[in-house]
Amino acid sequence: MAPIYQFTLQTAQGEDKSLADYRGKVLLLVNTATRCSLTPQYEDLQKLYAKYREQGLEILDFPCNQFREQAPENGTEYAQVCQMKFGTEFTIFNKIDVNGANTHPLYIYLKQQQPEDTGNHIFKDLLLKLASLGEAREGPDIKWNFTKFLVNREGEVVARFAPSVAPFEIETDIQKLL
């Protein structure tokens, strides 16, 4: 069994959910926030999910309040906001930490497997650094909301995309794995 399937997390509704339930699927894991300038990415994440879920794509949403406290809602409220504003149908988990002393073990693992963002955009990344106002992280740390990890059907973490990479910019990568 691939190591990613060893993790169990709590959904926004408070239920334990094993990532082993997604065995054989292509996964896109995203740390998110509802009050971020990148939050409109939810619309395209939902479109990708609707387009490819029948072929085996699952999007796993991990709210994180570590970046300028842009995800203040509790799990249930968070899921309601996303469903009402963006029509999200994919699984939203409870908030987790993706950096620091309380980093969730899943994100420790993801960062070990893919320590660097790919698909950087110089101008967009400069704007992201300005938006973070000194909170920008170095090394394998998650830089900001909407960092994306792509996992193949065997449970291997095959890519990590910078927050500035829009969901449809990785559509080809997803198609190859499906």
Torsion of CA 123, 69, 18, 44, to 10 degrees: -40
Contacts of 138 (CB under 8 A, 6+ apart): none
Buried b (16+ CB within 10 A) or exposed e, 137-172: eeebbbbbbbbbbbbbeebebebbbbbbbbbeebee
**64 in catalytic set:** no
Catalytic position from the list 36, 59, 64, 174: 36
Residues in the chain: 178
Q: Which residues are catalytic?
A: 36
